[in-house]
Amino acid sequence: MISLFRKIRQKLLQENKVTRYLIYALGEIILVVIGNPRTL
Q: What is the pLDDT of residue 36?
A: 78
Give pLDDT tens digits along the chain (40 positions). Answer: 678 878 877 887 777 677 777 888 888 888 888 887 776 6
> What are the sequence ranges of the domains in the chain?
2-39
What string of H, E and C letters represents the secondary structure of the chain? Answer: CHHHHHHHHHHHHHHCCHHHHHHHHHHHHHHHHHHCHHHC
Q: What is the pLDDT of residue 39?
A: 63
Q: What is the pLDDT of residue 5?
A: 78
